[in-house]
A and B are shown apart, each in its own frame.
Chain A
Amino acid sequence: MISLSASDRSTSVSETKLEPGVQDATGAVQDSPPVDEAEKSRRKTPKQTPLPGEPPTVSVQDVTIVYRTTFEKVPTFKSAIVRLGRGERAVREVEAVNHVSFDVPRGTSLGIIGANGAGKSTLMRSIAGVLPPTSGRIEVRGKISSLLALGVGFNGLLSGRENVILGGLAAGLSRDQVEERAREVAEFAEIGEFMDLPMRTYSSGMYQRLAFSVSVHMDPDILLIDEALSAGDASFKVKASEKMSELMSSSRAMFLVSHSLGSIEQMCDDCIWMHKGKLMMHDSPERCISAYTKFLKVGEDAFTLDDL
């Protein structure tokens, strides 16, 4: 169920519930569904389409993001003094995202694939406005669910509900909205009484369920989901992908980071593949995924894009 309490969205529940029969297609086996079936499911979902002359909902323009980490595990006065003696430079720079550009028009659900450390999470953080780009420019039109999957659960001593409430308040919701939201999240996540137990007692599956429920219940125009879809058991996966199809029609754009290539193929109609901070490919999910899997098989060195 989508909550609408005092949000600035004009989509209504009835509108959202209009799409029929998505369930059968998306509810099917998650990993590697036949391509034609995925194609069908996409066609069935009524999506928003860009209005004539509308600029892209998200525009990433030549963005580079550099983390500055120190040589030491933690920067200290002591090490600063020691370093000064040796004449070393303090920071090591990690180029997590390297001159990446792409546009996401209204109605797009963009899959992001790539190996660990490719810079996917970093890119999501910068779209959410958490990390300012080191160079380049990002334009975003609409309210983002800046509650990335891992934003919830920052304090293991607090209960799931308290974490959700804190996250919602930080995202700028009012207290009433946030408590309402927490109830819906709890209901959706189906973690029962664990909702009110400290999060350190959660299994990783419960943790991810909660994270997913949170990111889909924050009523965003633009939905960012970072690796939360691998959440939990088969039945929750079905429920999760149903929820996503429902959201696809009401949200302006969706970003889905996942290692489950099947989910990407099923739910996205556009895809980027990142590797070591570089944008390797921006194409249909099918082509990106086949290039990526091929890349994984042959290994980095032997691979050039002409091989495709």
Chain B
Amino acid sequence: MTTSATVPDWDAELQVYEPHRAGIPPLRPYFRDLFQRLPFAAEFSRSGMKAAHSETVFGQLWLVLNPLMLALVYFLLVNVISQSNAGPEALARIVGGIFIFYFFSGAVSTGAGSVTTGGRLILNMAFPRLLMPLAAVRTAFFRFLPTVPVYLVFHIIAGGAWTWMMPLGLVFLGLLTLFAMGMAAFMATVQVYFRDASSFLPYFLRIWLYISPVLWSPELAESRFGHYAKLMVLNPLYSLIGGWTDLTLNGVMPSATIWIAATSWALVALVGGSLYFLSRERDFAVRI
């Protein structure tokens, strides 16, 4: 009935399912599928946020209050520990830094659980699994958005610079998002094999926060560590968050090293994390 009018081409719609050797699936059809189904990732994230009441007024308020309180606590702590009176400028840096770090850590920790909590969806539907960590990153991003105006208030209080360079910060935000996607994909894969990865993750992220220029400024590191401060670029967040803070808060153009390091880290994480995920994803359904 369906094909009687056409020339029979029996293999036009043929799909073959065969055992996979550990390896990467054909990339072109995979990513065609992935892009075609991006609306799924968007809807998945949107409905997840709705279920978590993130879209209500109090939900939004909480999204801001949570990192804000954290920032205030850290600000106090820094003041006590360094026994100096850090001013509003330091406050703005810590608030801005915590907000963006919160975005990153939220993306990675939700992303880490995205496959293992995907349960029925993963077991019964065939779709590119990479959409799951991507949806998690989207969720984290939309939770980050309401904190931006709050940061701007602190920026005004601190008398921060308003320069034409501020919008360039978006480049670093974009790079950080790519980096987060790669890390989310990587952690999601790890968690399929080791379910307690999620309980180590908070400690890991906490340490990462302390070694990144969130609570302290890069200049401070240079004055304290001298030459060794150059090694800081080995920490991806040093360039990614440092560049963001430089442009948005300080109105300073980051050095070429920072630009190059941030771009490289973002690409390395994105490609590496995705490929690791892809090489394992056909194994997920039998391990959930």
Contacts and interface: CB of A to CB of B under 8 A. Distances in A.
A157 interface: yes
B194 A76 contact: yes
A170 B40 contact: yes
B16 A169 contact: no
B125 A48 contact: no
A139 B122 CA distance: 21
Interface in B18-50: 18-20, 33, 36-37, 39-40, 43-44, 47-48, 50
B44 A130 contact: no
Contacts of A153: 120
A142 B119 contact: no
A132 B282 contact: yes
A71 B179 CA distance: 35
B37 A138 contact: no
Given A51-B8, A169-B43, A125 B127 contact: no
A53 B17 CA distance: 22
Given A48-B2, A77-B200, A170 B123 contact: no
Contact of A9 (B2, B4, B287): B2
A53 B282 CA distance: 33
Contacts of B83: none
Contacts of A53: 8, 10
Interface in A118-161: 125-143, 146-148, 150-151, 153-155, 157-158
B1 A48 contact: yes
Interface string A43-66: 000001001011100000000011
Nearest to A72: B195
B126 A146 contact: yes
Name the 3 nearest CB pairs between A and B, nearest first. Answer: A151-B124, A169-B40, A76-B196
Given A54-B8, A77-B200, A146-B126, A140 B15 contact: yes
B37 A78 contact: no
Contacts of B47: 155, 158, 162, 166
Nearest to B122: A130
Contact of B10 (A55, A162, A221): A55
Contact of A148 (B39, B50, B124): B124
A233 B37 CA distance: 36
A138 B15 CA distance: 8
Contacts of A125: 123-124, 285
A115 interface: no
A166 B40 contact: yes
A150 B120 contact: yes
- Among A133, A138, A155, A158, the one with the most B-chain Cβ atoms within 10 Å of its Cβ is A155
27 contacts: A9-B2, A48-B2, A51-B8, A80-B194, A125-B285, A126-B17, A129-B126, A130-B122, A130-B123, A130-B126, A141-B14, A151-B125, A153-B120, A155-B47, A155-B51, A158-B50, A158-B51, A162-B50, A166-B43, A169-B43, A169-B44, A170-B40, A170-B125, A171-B127, A172-B36, A172-B37, A174-B39
A221 B14 CA distance: 12
A229 interface: no
B124 A10 contact: no
Contacts of B211: none
A32 interface: no
Nearest to B51: A157
B86 interface: no
Contact of B196 (A51, A66, A78, A170): A78
A148 B123 CA distance: 9
A247 B193 CA distance: 41
B126 A139 contact: no
Contacts of A139: 14-16
Contacts of B39: 169, 174-175
Contacts of A74: 195-196
B120 to A, nearest CB: 4
Of A11, A130, A142, A162, chain B has the most CB atoms within 10 Å of the CB of: A130
Contacts of B196: 74, 76-78
Given A128-B126, A129-B126, 4 more contacts: A68-B287, A76-B196, A129-B17, A169-B37
B229 interface: no
Interface in A71-120: 74-78, 80
Interface string B96-127: 00000000000000000000001111111111
Given A51-B8, A169-B43, A67 B17 contact: no
B197 interface: yes
B46 to A, nearest CB: 9
A9 to B, nearest CB: 7
Contacts of B287: 67-69
B19 A132 contact: yes
Nearest to A146: B126
B127 A51 contact: no
Contacts of A11: 1-2
A262 interface: no
B285 A130 contact: yes
A157 B48 CA distance: 9
A130 to B, nearest CB: 5
Contacts of A80: 194
Nearest to B124: A151
A101 B240 CA distance: 54
A65 B286 CA distance: 9
B16 A138 contact: yes
Nearest to B192: A75
Contacts of A137: 16-18
